Chains A and B, each alone.
Chain A
Amino acid sequence: MSSIEPLTLDVREELRNGGEPLPRIMAAVRELKDRQPLRLLATFEPLPLYAVLGHKGYSHSAKHLGEGDWEVLFSPGAEHGVTASPVNSPSPGDDREEWPAPGTFIDNRGLGPPEPLMRILDTLEHLGPGDVMQAINERDPVFLYPELEARGASIRVDKRDDGVYLLIRRSAA
């Protein structure tokens, strides 16, 4: 553990307003002093960030603060590369292979049906072959599964207190 006081960045307000906090997060990372950790406050567990900062040599530890608030501590130096996803309850028939960390995230909480479905399928269309996206829904998306199947995409579902966490992978072909 680093003894240096972490730099705290709170992007919850921005996320709730539908903003794009990645530039601010990257700016904060550039400002970090040597061996200084980053303490990030978000409205969900930001899986795509693990990939981004993992590549820059940061490891992460996430904590659910309740009420949908998350605290993630990014510490430098511990590990390199992409970490395994914590959303790891493969659906039946899943080959349990390791997926790449998601590069795209959409938060569908607060949206009525069928908007979450529309946004996921729209986003999926913009992924590269074999890429993974993360989405958080209010409800188990029963209408989504057959659509993903028809498109050759796979899904991993994790029902949590603050929403249904989905990892969706576009077919590699």
Chain B
Amino acid sequence: MISNRLSRWTLSFFGCALLNFIAAQALVIAGVSWPAQSWAAPGTLVAVHLLTIGWLLLLMLGALFQFVPVMTSKMLPSQNAALAALVGVEVGLLGMICGFVALGQGLPGLAHCLPVGGGLVIVGVLIATADVAVPLLQARPLPLPGRMVLTALAFLVAAITLGLLMTFALTIPLLAPYFAPLVGGVGYHILAGLGGWFTIGAIGVSYKLLPMFMLAPEERGPVGHGVHYLMAAGFAIALAAGLTNLWYGSVALQALEFAGYALVVAGIVLYLFDVVRLYRTRKRAAIELHNKAAIGAFAMFAIATLLGVAFIASGTLAEFLPVLIFVLLFGWLSGLGVTQLYKIVPFLTWIGRFGQSLGRGPVPRVQDLVAERRGAPWFVVYFAGVAFAAPALFGRGPDLFRAGMVITAAATLMLTREYWRAWRGYYTARQSATAPAPTRFINKEIPR
């Protein structure tokens, strides 16, 4: 049964992720988070972790539970592990939120919420990592998307380890002296998470998803492997050099860190070039809405890369880092997320609902579960909101920025409604099912 190939909890991951995404945007709009408040304000820490753990991490894990078996033709060791991971991450995140608020309010009694919640998140992530890593490690040969996901998972473990050590430094006085330099290294926690994990992971998944629905060549050749190696080596070098530099400051380590960034930039340029090639060599003439809209996310990725290079060249990276992080988080990663959900949700819904009745009467097509004309404007609005909010961060205009976030949040809500409708069969109910497929060369001349 196809339904056996379905990850049972993936749609639950997506539902929780979207709720967390909307909550994070609401906090920014309400002014309890950065940029209205400082970076270290509890509201900011809550919004940032809702966005990274609550939204992007759950989105990515939910997608991997579905796509790793498809990439490897191997089953996950356990479907229940996915549920355990979901509960661990979501409950742990609530604990962390509790802890951040306690830190801000000076409630020492609740301060342990942060390490306990963080611990739960880590347990959830490790369960998920083990569940998807097993089929990835067993598959021979492992195609490029799977290899990139494995690399990304290694950076995920690095990112949460750094986050955990930072928590120790902040909350456990006994350990604080050993990890004190790490408190100044939040940037490397972000680099491992946003860069090594999310970006390499998203690129890996895109290398599966884009060719699958556009019918472009899945084999990316040396270019695809080049993207993988450049980015993996670049992030690893930058992280190792940067972290070592926190303890033993040296000019050589700084230079090495920037050499790492140069490799990453080369990898991104190669990837974006490959994405253009992928769109151009597709076999399906018409591009479906989710991949049309994804062009917005790729454009944001290109803009973020240009900004990053410009900031480093002009020595203003520390000053403008928030702009870069915002464009990467909302434009590139979340942008790719909301566009691909527009296909993944109806696809999984369709397989779950109609897989068993295939060939036993008419069923709707996957495209019948969505109304692209209703969804399309909201992708434009989404990216317009990001494009409006980002420049406001240069001028430090928190109100203009929040106005942009209102636009993006409105689009997120409306797109969530479209995913909901696809899942509920809202549009299918309004259309008749298609006729059986045409066949050719039907041979009626041979007696059976």
Contacts and interface: CB of A to CB of B under 8 A. Distances in A.
Chain A's interface size range is: 35 or more
B284 A49 contact: no
Given A46-B441, A55-B445, A122-B358, A146 B5 contact: yes
A103 B360 contact: no
A104 B439 contact: yes
Interface stretch (B258-266, B292-300, B327-335, B347-355): B347-355
Interface string B80-107: 0000000000000000000000000000
Nearest to B436: A122
A15 B440 contact: yes
Given A142-B70, A142-B73, A123 B439 contact: yes
B23 interface: no
Contacts of B440: 15, 18-22, 105-107
A121 interface: yes
Interface string B54-90: 0000000000000000100100000000000000000
Interface string B427-448: 0000000001111111101101
A22 B4 contact: no
Nearest to B435: A122
Given A15-B440, A124-B359, A147-B358, A139 B212 contact: yes
B443 A114 contact: no
A52 B212 contact: no
Contacts of A128: 448
A114 B439 contact: no
A96 interface: no
A105 B439 contact: yes
Interface in A112-146: 112-115, 117-119, 121-126, 128, 131, 138-139, 142-143, 146
Given A51-B446, A103-B446, A112-B213, A122 B437 contact: yes
A173 interface: no
Interface in B1-24: 1-2, 4-5
A126 B365 CA distance: 20
A55 B436 contact: no
B159 to A, nearest CB: 31
Nearest to B288: A112
B244 to A, nearest CB: 44
Contact of B350 (A114, A123, A126): A114
Contact of A118 (B218, B288, B363, B445): B363
B321 interface: no
B1 A147 contact: yes
A62 B317 CA distance: 64
A110 interface: yes
Given A110-B283, A128-B448, A51 B443 contact: yes
A125 B363 CA distance: 14
Contacts of B365: 115, 118
Instruction: Name the residue in B1, B213, B440 with the highest tally of chain A Cβ atoms < 10 Å from its Cβ.
Output: B440
Interface string A41-78: 00000101101100100000000000000000000000
Nearest to B362: A122
A114 B366 contact: yes
B164 interface: no
A112 B437 contact: no
A122 B448 contact: no
Contact of B442 (A22, A112, A119): A22
A118 B5 contact: no
A22 B441 contact: yes
Interface string B210-252: 0011110010000000000000000000000000000000000
22 contacts: A18-B440, A48-B443, A49-B441, A51-B446, A55-B445, A104-B441, A105-B439, A105-B441, A110-B215, A110-B284, A112-B213, A112-B215, A113-B212, A113-B213, A113-B347, A114-B347, A118-B359, A122-B359, A128-B448, A142-B70, A142-B73, A143-B5
Interface of B: 1-2, 4-5, 70, 73, 212-215, 218, 283-284, 288, 347, 350-351, 355, 358-360, 363, 365-366, 436-443, 445-446, 448
The 3 A-B pairs at the shortest CB distance, nearest first, are namely A121-B359, A119-B437, A103-B443
Given A104-B441, A104-B443, A106-B437, 5 more contacts: A21-B440, A48-B443, A115-B365, A115-B437, A118-B358
